[in-house]
Amino acid sequence: MSDEVILITGGGRGIGAATALLAAERGYRVCVNYRTDEAAAAGVVERIEAAGGSALAVRADVSRSTEVERLFRTVDEEFGPLTALVNNAGTLEKQGRLDELDEDRLARIWAANITGPFLCAGAAVRRMSTRYGGRGGAIVNVSSAASRLGSPNEYVDYAASKGALDSMTTGLALEVAAEGIRVNAVRPGLIHTDIHALGGEPARVDRVGPLLPMGRGGRPEEVAEGILYLLSPGASYVTGAFLDLAGGR
Ligand code: NAP
């Protein structure tokens, strides 16, 4: 087994789970973070271990700094120095118009989709950066095609939170480019996961997929391939980049 150690936030389900399984196949020791669905995270760990890999599930709300610190300390203690972070955890809420959004909902979306990735990226940089005595590493942010499209009549708040994540990707990539850390983002389009149920339309991908240039929605495994590429040595000269995984959308 290699000495690559990866932390995937929201790694129990959807895109995060597919990324965890592929990372384990590629030889990473995998920390699967989750917030509520312990059984799903445990299932991913079981599948990785059954295939001879090494994995660990850790509960933490990524928008809470004390929980994030505990999460990263657990990885330090169990697996040693972190080499890769995937800021995947994210959420959205019921479809609607901007003029229907209230303060509490906005606070929840910003917390999960902006504060969470900021806190986790900071904790990762303090471990990976040569400035802190680290060996370097790579970070991938899971943004969305929504940051380009704005998600009108669905969730402009969600789209804007991914716009913030895009800005963070650019800024952090430049901040740590000379410190051994690469920072990139993927922007998935419509992917078959549970997230669409949160918007009130579980079958959204089936409805919109046929209208896309490639005529279908994407699979979590197709996003995982892009994430693992950006983390890999094959992407050693790639930083501050955005990989659109959206079937031409
Ligand atoms: P999903 O199946 O609903 O999974 C979301 C994951 O995020 C879950 O594992 C959940 O944990 C975790 N999570 C949410 N809030 C969290 C928090 N505060 N702290 C820790 N974990 C938290 O959704 P998905 O589609 O795979 O989404 C993964 C990422 O892809 C998100 O950032 C999403 O915005 C992005 N994305 C998805 C699509 C798409 O079409 N599916 C398109 C573009 C971008 P629990 O399991 O414990 O609840």
Instruction: Output the CA 89–ligand 1 centroid distance in Å.
Output: 4
Instruction: Output the CA 202–ligand 1 centroid distance in Å.
Output: 14
* From 15, 58, 201, mutation site for ligand 1 pocket: most ligand atoms within 8 A of C-beta: 15
Q: Which residues are catalytic?
A: 158
Q: Which domains does the chain have, with CATH numbers?
A: 5-245 (3.40.50.720)
The closest-lying atom of ligand 1 relative to the alpha carbon of residue 34 is 47
Closest protein CA for atom 46 of ligand 1: 37
Summarize pLDDT for 164-176 with one digit per residue, the tens. 999 999 999 999 9
pLDDT at 1: 55
Q: Is the CB of 142 under 6 A from ligand 1?
A: yes
Summarize pLDDT for 50-97 with one digit per residue, the tens. 999 999 999 999 999 999 999 999 999 999 999 999 999 999 999 999
Backbone angles phi, psi at 30, to 5 degrees: -120, 125
Instruction: Output the CA 207–ligand 1 centroid distance in Å.
Output: 20
Question: Rounded CA gap, 134 and 44, in Å?
Answer: 29
Please say whether the beta carbons of 24 and 7 come within 8 A: no
The closest-lying atom of ligand 1 relative to the alpha carbon of residue 11 is 9
pLDDT band, very low/low/confident/very high, at 6 (cuts 50, 70, 90): very high
Instruction: Output the CA 10–ligand 1 centroid distance in Å.
Output: 6
**Burial, 17: exposed, middle or buried (Cβ in 10 Å; 0-12, 13-18, 19+)?**
buried
Question: Rounded CA gap, 220 and 204, in Å?
Answer: 15
pLDDT band, very low/low/confident/very high, at 237 (cuts 50, 70, 90): very high
pLDDT at 209: 96
The closest-lying atom of ligand 1 relative to the alpha carbon of residue 220 is 26
pLDDT band, very low/low/confident/very high, at 100 (cuts 50, 70, 90): very high
Alpha helices in the chain (DSSP H): 14-25, 38-50, 65-79, 103-110, 116-128, 146-149, 156-176, 195-198, 204-208, 220-231
pLDDT average, residue stretch 180-184:
99
The closest-lying atom of ligand 1 relative to the alpha carbon of residue 62 is 19
pLDDT at 2: 73
pLDDT average, residue stretch 113-128:
98
Q: Is the CB of 53 under 6 A from ligand 1?
A: no
